[in-house]
Structure 1
Amino acid sequence: MATKTKLHPRNQHSDGYDFTRLVADLPELEAFTTRNPAGQTTIDFKNPEAVRMLNRALLKTHYNIGFWDIPANYLCPPIPGRVDYIHYLADLLADGNNQAIPRGRDIKVLDIGTGASLVYPLIGQSEYGWHFTGTDIDAGALKSAKRICQSNNLDIKLRRQNERESIFRGVIEPRDLFHITMCNPPFHASIEQANKGTQRKWRNLGEGPSKKLNFGGQNAELWCPGGEIGFIARMVEQSTEIADQCLWFTSLVSKKDNLQTLNRILRKANVADTKTVEMAQGQKVSRFIAWTFIQKDRRSSFFESTRK
């Protein structure tokens, strides 16, 4: 596939950040702004408070979120890349809906590991009106997500995953139907690897050794036994148990080298179809994989069966 260098065409952040507009909507952001060598307004992305304030402004200006905050040491996601995932999921759903992007609350999305930020449901609900169910293993993350929902009067279901080895088991009910699931899985295999990743990121930012990561992260967000491959492999295995309850299963894949192994796992699971969708933000390239057990000629009927 051709290497992408730009955000999705529908991404509101394709032209960068309009700090004049952002500061007008959230005056508190101005104290964190600075000038880069080219004289352009920006923030210090090494400062977690500045990143959090930028996210608050972006969510308010572009996605009508009046209140947003997360506890210290939880992942503070970069918004533009998260937005891209949502838009490419919309394209994937359109492929089985006569090329029309499905909108509205009839479209059900499961966000696995929704996190304290609740960022995917906030964006997806604003952009397309989809109805989200968010799951997480961390009680603190769900408490934060619930606060965001209540403060903005949002109808987003939140479910606690009580079993660390489970992805879908225990949180998907027999009558549930989802058009798509999404996930940003932990990509380290151990706490040692996570710490090394932290140090590497700080070096890339031009800083010395530090125990902090500018975007934060709890253990469950950063690592799990088996790392990214192990997590997604469990997801594939458990997806076979609910094959008729979901149209598309998807997951971000941080390491391109993992795709070969993951595609081999998917073939063994006898899926009906798989896709790898590449995304990009400047020089940074990311991707997600998608799989379905529903044959192509039956996918449009899935939309019909879930409409009220």
Structure 2
Amino acid sequence: MTARSVRTKLHPRNQHLNGYDFELLTTQHPALAAFIIITPAGTKSIDFSDNKAVKTLNQALLKAHYNIDFWDIPEHNLCPPIPGRVDYIHYLADLLAADNQGQTPTGRQVKVLDIGTGANLVYPLTGTHEYRWHFTGSDIDPAAIKIAKQIAQFNGLKITLKQQKNAAHIFQGIINSKDLYHLTLCNPPFHASQADAVKGSERKWKNLGKTPHSALNFGGKNNELWCAGGELQFISSMITESAAVAEQVIWFTSLVSKKEHLATLEQALSQQPIAEYKIVDMAQGQKVSRFIAWSYFDKSTRQQICAEFE
């Protein structure tokens, strides 16, 4: 494992490093103007407790920065914060660059699998624009796959979408025998139960200075928010299952929301014949996040594989 450094800002290549340009955003997406508020400090913002405002902000961000002309999801689906999501993409690009003589591989020859892509399709949309990678998105929810396909088709993007039909598996049934991916990525379900998800929702509302409400400001269906055992069990299962497709993926990765889960996950990794793993810290304002990455290939082999993709 390599040394970790504390992050205090978004990735240097993140287009949102210096905050939101509301003049640009409202010019590109006039509907956002109705949700603009003035903060006590005299700056423009939106009410992040208003899920319609959050969704409209996302539409503006995707249009202004990522050339996504159409993006819409049902109210009950997860509406992710764009800056933090795209940060993950940029750090994944750095992960590949480290195996490619410091040069970030771009273009459709780079294959990326997004586990649990959701109806929002945010990682493939932003990653396709930033690096032109070829994304495959998987999800257990057929309705999410249908909506994601519509978004990709409307925007003329060639994104492959697959439904995971067996809830007991993550990679099996998605990664076929002839597939080879540079990366897998995942934003796993955070909570361990529906009750935990409700409590988390209440905490978010209180943190926003609002009375607890039944709806999350960022939305989210059950399968997007929780699974048995929460993120720890999900990522642990991913680590175990990754061994079966070890030679078909250069880097497996997943976000890890809770820092206290890292020790258990490192122990799970130690039980697999991996060559290397990394924990990469990220940050968005005061919030610190991270992802864990592991590879069954040593560095020289990874470099050879990357060279073959050129």
- TM interval, shorter chain, is over 0.9
Which secondary structure does the structure 1 equivalent of 2:99 belong to? Answer: coil
Summarize the alignment of residues 28-67 of structure 1 with structure 2, pairs less than 5 Å apart. Answer: 28-67=31-70
Q: 1:76 aligns with which of 75, 79, 85?
A: 79
8 Å CA contact 2:100–2:307 kept in 1: the answer is no
More deviation, 247-256/28-37: 28-37
8 Å CA contact 2:32–2:56 kept in 1: the answer is yes
Query: Does structure 1 residue 89 correspond to structure 2 residue 92?
Result: yes
Shift of 1:304: 3.2
Which secondary structure does the structure 2 equivalent of 1:82 belong to? Answer: helix
Which residue does 2:124 correspond to in 1?
121
Q: Partner amino acid for 2:174?
A: V
Which residue does 1:296 correspond to in 2?
299
Summarize the alignment of residues 99-110 of structure 1 with structure 2, pairs less than 5 Å apart. Answer: 99-110=102-113
8 Å CA contact 1:71–1:144 kept in 2: the answer is no
Query: Does structure 1 residue 25 correspond to structure 2 residue 53?
Result: no
Distance 1:162 1:302 in 2: 31
Shift of 1:3: 2.3
Distance 1:229 1:39 in 2: 41
Distance 2:176 2:273 in 1: 23
Equivalences, count:
307
More deviation, 72-81/298-307: 298-307
Which residue does 1:260 correspond to in 2?
263
Query: Does structure 1 residue 251 correspond to structure 2 residue 254?
Result: yes
What are the ranges of 5 or more consecutive residues in structure 2 without an aligned counterpart?
A: none
Q: Partner amino acid for 1:114?
A: T
Query: Does structure 1 residue 202 correspond to structure 2 residue 205?
Result: yes
Distance 1:122 1:157 in 2: 12
* TM-score, normalised relative to structure 1: 0.98
Which secondary structure does the structure 2 equivalent of 1:150 belong to? Answer: helix
Which residue does 1:143 correspond to in 2?
146
Query: Does structure 1 residue 234 correspond to structure 2 residue 234?
Result: no
Shift of 1:211: 1.3
Shift of 1:32: 0.8
What are the ranges of 5 or more consecutive residues in structure 1 without an aligned counterpart?
A: none
Which secondary structure does the structure 2 equivalent of 1:16 belong to? Answer: coil
- RMSD of aligned Cα (Å): 0.9
8 Å CA contact 1:94–1:100 kept in 2: the answer is yes
Aligned-residue identity in percent:
58
Distance 2:41 2:210 in 1: 21
Q: Partner amino acid for 1:67?
A: F
Which secondary structure does the structure 1 equivalent of 2:247 belong to? Answer: coil
Distance 2:256 2:167 in 1: 20
For residues 227-256 of structure 1, what are the alpha-carbon distances to aligned partners after superposition, in whole Å with 9 as ceiling and x for unaligned?
A: 111100110111100001000000000000
Shift of 1:170: 0.6
Q: 4+ runs of 1 displaced by more than 2 Å?
A: 304-307
